[in-house]
Structure 1
């Protein structure tokens, strides 16, 4: 699929990654930037170098990164806005007051003069967007929470169950909304592997289990999952693969736990073939974050854990659609027992795997990035 450009636009992205934020915001922006770059667009990222940032990863894809200074004194002092009662719930993720970030970002954007600014940050809202968007620069927001106002021409919320009414009081009526997993920003590899993945699930039993708790997993849930699996009655020929990011603070602990597993278990880091690995897996145990849509595209049955509040709605909607099994929050006292029970049930019931495959695959075909690219490059 190609898009014909009349001119070559410049598009800027404001997104961060860190041990606290995770990697999902930057990674989905990177998916969009890579697709735009393939169409000849020049993409720039504005990022703050938090602990666990992905700046080198972005640069390795050929995009320019403009690093915003990180003021450790402000971070330690937790001063995140001039009006502490009127800042987004995730204001601390920014690392500086939003006014400071707006001033610093504005200086960079004044030099870049982008046609579009894509904002994917829970700590930013309409006030920041109004300041940084110079005349001629249009704003696209990527959101999941619907908990703050935005000054944007376009807004993407890829979550299942999201509807226009959720943003009725948060954006202008003229704002173009792209809602639901049909528009999820997935790398092309997922749609490319989709047919092969669905084909191999016609007659499947549990032989390959994939564990993905996000790129960071600050609470070391992966080790706890492995501990639970080691006491489960699993098929003797089951193989387990754990995927983690290189910035994950508990990586060594996970590797140690993997060595103690009864079933063969390998830990792989910073993979560049996630779609293939998902395709070759029969079941996933994973967080209910943005990776959910990758699994849905490939029809990969999933047992989901809720690692953060913003994942609760995703898990509930996918469970209701029978596209995955939600065992709830890790804050629950019995999630480990729930996990043990569900894995045993799924292992003994291949039909349940097939039902999840059909329901999950119906939610997205992995072409969502093109609906966004076409809008950005067509002038809206």
Structure 2
């Protein structure tokens, strides 16, 4: 897109997590010829440095105020506003549109009402029929697995079919979100400590419990901790199974056709959780960790493991992933 000024409105923090910014950075690459700015708040635990590292400008907002954002949009002659923020609702979008007439693209994960020109639900569970009464009549809705955003590091890898042999020692990939405000990593590690596993655990410096996690792992030779890793795809590729939240991380895991266990930790993950459960992917809530060992032990069986691989292949074959550039 030539001569276009695009503003992303998103936040990251200990409480919000890092997922919004990370997926926005993937989408930003699609607009390679545009001038892109990220408008964010300077919240505790933010990853604004990651935006700068990827080559984009950051504008710090004082608050989530319509007047402040509208003024900036007009001052910078913004053509397209991309909103990825659960705190910005239909009324906010409508007033902002009236003040600026800017084109609005809104991310949505939970079937909320929006006042926008286009809407993106890039989750594999996305159902376009649910937006019939939630967006303006002329809104373009991009919804479902065919719009899933994946980083180049995933798409550029040569994917091989996953398989195991009987009595293999499993290597487990664990990702409970960049912030992990509920300290799920340690709870999971404590639950599975009696199993014979090698573990690759990824997190970020936005993790509120990072010091506790580092102390917990310090003397455990079977666990490798990766902080702010730039080669997540390679780490996943080297594992046999994964334990992840029902978030955008699922999109990356199924791309590898890797069996995984999903653990829901927040209410906004309920749609992905329900979708995966319907597809017969092992799913737990964060209060059900006592069943985790049982699910893992089942995947030691090559037949059960291969059944999960086939289920995931069927999910992938429902449509195609789109490239992020």
> How does the TM-score come out when normalised to structure 2?
0.91
Residue 210 (structure 1) aligns with: 173
Q: CA deviation at 1:57?
A: 0.9
Correspondence for 1:363 among 296, 308, 315: 315
Point out where structure 2 has 5 or more consecutive residues left out of the alignment.
Answer: none
Q: Distance in 1 between matches of 2:313 and 2:5?
A: 34
Partner of 1:118: helix, strand, or coil?
A: strand
Cα deviation 1:18-58 (Å, max 9, x = unaligned): 1111111111111111332xx22211111011111111110
Contact 1:142 1:155 in 2 (8 A): yes
Q: 1:264, CA displacement in angstroms?
A: 0.9
Q: For 1:188, which of 152, 160, 166 is the aligned residue?
A: 152
Distance 1:362 1:63, change over 3 A: farther
Aligned match for 2:41, one of 40, 44, 48: 48
SS state at 2:311 partner: helix
Alpha-carbon shift at residue 202 of structure 1 (Å): 4.5
Q: How many residues align structurally? A: 320
| Higher RCO structure, 1 or 2 (CA under 8 Å, sep 6+) | 2
For 2:79, the equivalent position in structure 1 comes to 115
CA contact (8 A) 1:214 1:244 kept: yes
Equivalent residue number for residue 226 of structure 1: 189
1:188–1:366 contact (8 Å) kept in structure 2: no
Q: TM-score, normalised by structure 1?
A: 0.79
**Cα deviation, residue 260, structure 1:** 4.9
> RMSD across aligned C-alpha pairs, in angstroms?
2.0
CA distance in 2, matches of 1:362, 1:141: 29
Residues 202 and 161 from structure 1, CA distance in 2 versus in 1: closer, same or farther, beyond 3 angstroms? same
Which residue is 1:325 aligned to? 282
- For 1:18 and 1:132, the matched residues in 2 are separated by 24
Q: Answer 1 or 2: which has greater helix percent.
A: 1
Residue 359 of structure 1 deviates from its aligned partner by 2.7
Match of 2:162 in 1: 201
Whose strand fraction is larger, Structure 1's or Structure 2's?
A: 2
Do structure 1's residue 241 and structure 2's residue 236 form an aligned pair?
A: no
User: 1:346, CA displacement in angstroms?
Assistant: 1.2
Q: Which residue of the other structure, out of 82, 103, 108, is the alignment partner of 1:143?
A: 108
Decide whether aligned partners of structure 1 residues 104 and 135 sit closer, same or farther in structure 2, where only a CA change above 3 A counts. Answer: closer
CA distance in structure 2 between the partners assigned to 1:314 and 1:307 by the alignment? 12
Q: 2:92 & 2:53 partners in 1: Cα distance? A: 29
For structure 1, the 5+ residue unaligned runs are: 71-95, 374-380
